[in-house]
Structure 1
Amino acid sequence: MSSYLIYHPSRAVSKFETTVVYHDHIGGNQDPYVYNAQFLHTYCHITQMKPNVGDINFWVSGDTFPNFSHLYCDLVFIVAEKVYWENVNTIDRSDEIVDTDEAYNDHYRWVHQHYFRKRRRRYTLKADRKRSFQPQDSERKLIDIIPFLMEQGMTIDALRKGLRAGFNSKPLQLESSTSSLYNWLELSASVKLDGMQLQNLRKSNPHLASL
């Protein structure tokens, strides 16, 4: 089992009475897609990774890039399925891989933004719905994982270097800290939002649809 730290821009924030959700912006493709019983990952940084079933991926954003001082984890994604597409650059709502109308609208149909010109197989990663979650503290804020990683012997300079590719970010593969980081987040999070909770929120809040 391995894992990746995957850096992406700061999340949009939506509030629903006592629930706060951190998610991708709705002006286009939402990836990773959190409003689904199984979280979904198809496009963002996927060609820079070699994911396998059982991997634990941690999606993070920082206060600034590349010289961040904090890494806030907005999604713990345990890969339960790696599902290959029948057609690499097209998908229909009727395709078996598509979970819901909302997932098709907000996630899958944006494949035209990520066209494969070379011969390559496209797949979607689907998360373990019971063990994957969005971790939040008691104030419903995201949790900074840098203090924990530094306790494990990683330096902030190594994190900055490992997550950077030129002017952009790239996934950083973790080895020894995978299980311990998962366990620490599971214990530290006062709030753990799962995919079914978020799917139900999306169905009752059509304003969250990608435009």
Structure 2
Amino acid sequence: MVASPKPPTQHTLDILATSASQFTPDPADTERANRGLIATHETGLIEEGGRTVWDISRHDFVRESEVAPSSVHASLWHQARLNAVHGLFEVAPGLWQARGYDISNISFLAGDRGWVIIDPLTSEACARACLDLANAELGERPVTAVIYTHSHIDHFGGVRGVVDEAAVDAGEVQIIAPDQFMREAVFENVIAGPAMGRRAAY
């Protein structure tokens, strides 16, 4: 039996109403969140094997109103609206980032021989879709290296969506990771995984 959600108590509503009266969103936040946007995924729906992996429309409810519902902290609502901005962005000359198509961002650095990809997301399907978007908009390049900045799975889990294992084994693609990366990845995702899963569900 699944428990039905309960409405916030009056005490909570009073606290949220007070915080809303004291919060003024910075209109420049929206400009900054959209800065450098050059393209978006055609549908925002990423599927694999008939299964929906990512669907940007699930965030439509935060796009519908600038004003937070009475049950949501005004600053969190504002932040959620900024997080709902998605697409391929130019960050700096030669550096682009796809945002909003996973729980993390993937970056594309144009190297002399091809793409250096930084943090290839959580899922293969999302990483592949973002690489396809970058290639379509910026010109197709081979992937020559992948950098994992740290051991959280949303920063390396989608690597097979952007590189072929045979190419890595052949030395055609470098995988660059911090020292002790495998140890930390096991600790983070295997040993702590069940607790993290329960926390995520909660």
Check whether TM > 0.5.
no
Which has the greater radius of gyration? 2
Query: Which structure is higher in strand share?
Result: 1
TM-score, with normalisation over the residues of structure 2?
0.25
Query: Which structure is higher in helix share?
Result: 2
